[in-house]
DNA sequence: CTTGTTAGCATAAACGTTTATATATTATCT
DNA sequence: AGATAATATATAAACGTTTATGCTAACAAG
């Protein structure tokens, strides 16, 4: 690693002081035109680049955003893309740290980034995270923080997320409209808010339609196709088995689909199936899977915008909340009446 | 953003000099036990965290790795996961910048990270990138640099990539073994090395098997399912149409599959199909798609390890190259003889 | 009693900037 | 001519560290 050209080098070469060079480079007044030109010419020649570290130390800002996410699956990668785009535009660099759904790693990542390396945080918590001391620490230090996707309630920070309850409602109402009566729910980890909200929306809609809700029809499992497969088999082996499954993610829906097929049941005739996230894959499978779109890219962009606003304004923004409305895409897996929409 | 506790605060409170505090905190000699204990106790109490920026400026190292990638698709996200894991372990933080397959953004990202923010670079170039001045600049400044996946030839830097030629060979030999005779190639962007290597492997194998190679059976298109769909339709509308398609990515293979199905042709009976990357989705589609596994996670880990070695050794490593061997996974889309493997 | 050693601390320089303040030279005005 | 203003530059402090060097007092050895 070669030593970079510094302002000192230029000053020395031109027999000037560093302050004059600094001012010349930034077109400040109080510098003669000749000096300014000479400085700029030499800077160009030596390929001078201001040292960002020195600047950061001085100004106490790094122009870097720390993004902490549980993983890099389709949805989150898309959100990160949205964050990245807005951040880049605004001159910020993004530091993405994956917690890999591990509480320990989330804490480690937070600590690392907290060591004055980032101007603020954009966080989506891991599914293991039930204690929020590390997030509180960010908050206590008055470091800008925005939560997205998997937000935490009772936390006075800006939040951007999907209306997951509404997503659950959309999916469920659709299944009901298609004549399904015993709707099972394939949920994510038990303490995961997004999952529970989707489930809540589902249950709510069942009640509204006067359909009895059977607790046994809710199964929680990790975000993993294989677990979903096992869980679905379990559901379909009940003596009063469901006639539809609402999976709170497409990956879970796929696991369920494999199980359903393997048991010789027909989708959507015997069993209706709706997923969540609207991953492109849902449209490629046979049958194609109905799914709830969550506009991940838009959520990402909105999050970054909110963050930047927070960074630059000095208003209290802790009660700002953006809730994105989901949309159901109806496909073969639940469309047994042959409706088109 | 609250001011962090600094070494000065501690020094002032304890009527010591900053140097003594610094030494005390790091268990250096020349500090009495009482002083050391007092310093440590106060540091603990005030939640002192050393300022990384100051340290970075002083030591001229940031413990940060700049990763520049074209996008965050399944393969690259997996590679990044591998890089991340190794980097985290070694105490490094990763800065991921997506060029979004845009040459301009790749340059912008490189510039941003070059401003002394990272200790080195791990780069996979965009498909638009045909001129490598920005990469040369990294090299000229003697900043550690490792290329991975989409590497550049004639560049004296460590490289980690898949044996793409071999991948092309595996896929093609398999198709030939299955009795396919007119094998078309669905390639990526024309100047993309990984794509061309896979194609080269394919052509090589055709020749080895004395199968005439028809130039018209090679179509290049962007990494996009829709383009692949159009390209495949074109291929299948030729008067001497192919009886198999080797797609150099799974996404392209999926586009081709849709086209084939739509034209009423049967897979694998009428048309054989092999993809590349072995994305999980290949095993979920109907028919399931044969694909070449590229061990993305391993490539990511190997890349990060190589990078760290380069960072810490002072040997010349510019001729280091790791080539990962691919493996073909045979599935329904190409298995018309009913072989199992 | 002088000299040397050592323990324990402080001082100062360094990393690369910006910026408030000081200084020196020249120009302007009365 | 002398005072004042203006211009153009330098000096120094600051950001938060580490570290080489310097200093002082106590104590041991001769």
> What does the pLDDT look like over B234-252, one tens digit per residue?
999 999 999 999 999 999 9
List of B residues 43-102 with CB within 7 A of strand D: 48-51, 53-55, 57-58
- Residue A341 above 80 pLDDT? no
| Mean pLDDT across A248-274 | 96
The residue among A95, A101, A45, A21 whose CA lies nearest residue A65 is: A95
- Residue B177 above 70 pLDDT? yes
Helix axis angle for A74-89 and B103-114, nearest 10°, is 70
| Mean pLDDT across A255-269 | 96
Please indicate whether residue B81 or residue B117 has the higher confidence score (pLDDT). B81
User: Any idea which nucleotide's C1' is nearest the CA of A30?
Assistant: D8
The pLDDT mean for chain B works out to 95
The residue among B276, B127, B293, B96 whose CA lies nearest residue A77 is: B96
Q: What is the C-alpha separation between B22 and B10, in angstroms, rounded?
A: 10
The structure tokens 């797609």 sit at: B247
- Residue A89 above 70 pLDDT? yes
% residues pLDDT > 70 (chain B): 99
Please indicate whether residue B259 or residue A1 has the higher confidence score (pLDDT). B259
Q: What is the C-alpha separation between A190 and A221, in angstroms, rounded?
A: 8
CB-nearest to B2 from A81, A97, A142 is A142
Spell out the domain ranges in chain A: 7-50, 62-162+296-323, 164-294+328-334
Would you say the CATH fold of A164-294+328-334 matches that of A62-162+296-323?
A: yes
Class in CATH terms, A62-162+296-323: alpha beta
CB-nearest to B115 from A52, A117, A225 is A52
DSSP class per residue in A137-190: HHHHTT--EEEESS--TT--S-EEEE-HHHHHHHHHHHHHHTT--SEEEEE-ST
Q: How is domain B62-162+296-325 classified at the architecture level of CATH? A: 3-Layer(aba) Sandwich (3.40)
Distance in angstroms, CA of A190 to C1' of C14?
A: 54
Q: What is the C-alpha separation between B85 and B66, in angstroms, rounded?
A: 15
Per-residue pLDDT tens digits for B196-212: 999 999 999 999 999 99
- Provide the whole-model pTM: 0.93
DSSP state of A238: S
Per-residue pLDDT tens digits for B91-123: 999 999 999 999 999 999 999 898 868 999 999
Q: Which residue is nearest to nucleotide D6 (CA to C1')?
A: A30
Q: Across the strands, what pairs with B94?
A: B65
Distance from the A273 Cα atom to the nearest Cα atom in chain B, whole angstroms: 16
DSSP class per residue in B207-264: HHTT----GGGEEE--S-HHHHHHHHHHHHTSTT--SEEEESSHHHHHHHHHHHHHTT
- State which residue of chain B sits closest to A54, comparing Cα positions: B57
- State which residue of chain A sits closest to B257, comparing Cα positions: A284
Whether residues B143 and A72 touch (CB distance < 8 A) is answered with: no
- State which residue of chain A sits closest to B92, comparing Cα positions: A112
Band of pLDDT at residue B254, cut at 50, 70 and 90 = very high
Band of pLDDT at residue A339, cut at 50, 70 and 90 = low
Distances from the Cα of A48 to the Cαs of A6, A27, A29, A52, in angstroms? 7, 16, 21, 12
- Residue B340 above 60 pLDDT? no
Distance from the A49 Cα atom to the nearest Cα atom in chain B, whole angstroms: 7
3-class secondary structure, B189: coil
| Helix/strand/coil percentages in chain A, nearest 5 | 45, 15, 40
Residue A238 burial (CB count, 10 A): 13
The structure tokens 């300014």 sit at: A36
What CATH homologous superfamily does B7-50 map to?
Answer: lambda repressor-like DNA-binding domains (1.10.260.40)
- Tell me which of 3.40.50.620, 1.10.645.10, 3.40.50.2300, 3.40.718.10 is the CATH number of domain A164-294+328-334: 3.40.50.2300
Distance in angstroms, CA of A16 to C1' of D10?
A: 8
- Report strand pairing: A93-98 vs A64-69: parallel
- Residue A193 above 70 pLDDT? yes
- Residue A340 above 60 pLDDT? no
- State which residue of chain B sits closest to A255, comparing Cα positions: B284
The residue among A219, A293, A294 whose CA lies nearest residue A259 is: A219
Band of pLDDT at residue B339, cut at 50, 70 and 90 = low
Q: What is the pLDDT of residue A30?
A: 87
Both tokens assigned to A339? 């409706």
| Mean pLDDT across A230-235 | 96
Task: Find the DSSP H helices in B90-163.
Answer: 103-114, 133-140
Burial (CB count <10 Å: 0-12, 13-18, 19+), residue B340: exposed
| Mean pLDDT across B269-292 | 96
Distance from the A4 Cα atom to the nearest Cα atom in chain B, whole angstroms: 8
% residues pLDDT > 90 (chain B): 92
* Residues in A touching B109 (Cβ below 8 Å): 88
| Mean pLDDT across B247-270 | 96
CB-nearest to B115 from A49, A114, A117 is A49
Distances from the Cα of A152 to the Cαs of A125, A129, A192, in angstroms? 8, 10, 10
Distance in angstroms, CA of A328 to C1' of C17?
A: 54
User: Any idea which nucleotide's C1' is nearest the CA of A23?
Assistant: C18
Distance from the B191 Cα atom to the nearest Cα atom in chain A, whole angstroms: 25
Per-residue pLDDT tens digits for A287-333: 999 999 999 999 999 999 999 999 998 889 999 999 999 999 999 99
Per-residue pLDDT tens digits for A24-42: 999 988 899 999 999 999 9
User: Any idea which nucleotide's C1' is nearest the CA of A7?
Assistant: C16
Whether residues B116 and A2 touch (CB distance < 8 A) is answered with: no
- Where are any strands of DSSP class E within chain A? 64-69, 93-98, 120-123, 145-148, 159-162, 183-187, 218-220, 244-247, 272-277, 290-293, 321-324, 327-329
Per-residue pLDDT tens digits for B324-336: 999 999 999 999 9
Q: What is the pLDDT of residue B341?
A: 44
Per-residue pLDDT tens digits for A90-147: 999 999 999 999 999 999 999 989 886 899 999 999 999 999 999 999 999 999 999 9
């Amino acid at each position: 690693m070669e030593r970079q050209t510094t302002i000192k080098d230029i000053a020395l070469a031109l027999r000037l002081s560093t302050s004059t060079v600094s001012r010349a480079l930034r077109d400040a007044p109080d510098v003669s035109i000749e000096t300014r030109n000479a400085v700029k010419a030499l800077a160009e020649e030596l390929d001078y680049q201001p040292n960002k570290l020195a600047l950061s130390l001085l100004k106490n800002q790094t122009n870097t955003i720390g993004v902490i996410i549980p993983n890099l699956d389709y949805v989150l990668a898309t959100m990160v893309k949205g964050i990245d785009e807005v951040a880049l535009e605004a001159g910020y660099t993004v530091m993405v740290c994956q917690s890999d759904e591990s509480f320990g790693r989330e804490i480690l990542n937070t600590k690392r980034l907290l060591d004055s390396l980032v101007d603020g945080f954009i966080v989506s918590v891991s599914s293991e995270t039930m204690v929020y001391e590390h997030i509180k620490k960010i908050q206590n230090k008055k470091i800008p923080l925005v939560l997205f996707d998997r937000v935490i309630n009772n936390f006075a920070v800006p939040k951007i997320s999907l209306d997951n309850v509404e997503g659950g409602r959309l999916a469920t109402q659709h299944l009901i409209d298609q004549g399904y009566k015993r709707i099972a729910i394939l949920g994510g980890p038990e303490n995961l808010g997004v999952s529970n909200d989707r489930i809540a929306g589902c249950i709510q809609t069942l009640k509204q339609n006067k359909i009895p809700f059977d607790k046994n029809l809710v199964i929680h499992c990790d975000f993993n196709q294989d677990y979903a497969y096992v869980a679905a088999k379990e559901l379909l082996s009940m003596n009063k088995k469901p006639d539809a499954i609402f999976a709170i993610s497409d990956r879970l829906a796929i696991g369920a689909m494999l199980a359903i097929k393997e048991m010789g049941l027909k989708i959507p005739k015997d069993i209706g199936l709706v997923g969540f996230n609207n991953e492109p894959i849902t449209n490629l499978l046979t049958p194609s899977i109905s799914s709830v779109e969550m506009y991940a890219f838009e959520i990402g962009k909105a999050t970054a915008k909110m963050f930047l606003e927070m960074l630059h304004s000095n208003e209290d923004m802790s009660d700002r909340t953006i809730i994105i409305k989901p949309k159901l895409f109806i496909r073969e897996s639940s469309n047994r009446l042959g409706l088109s929409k």
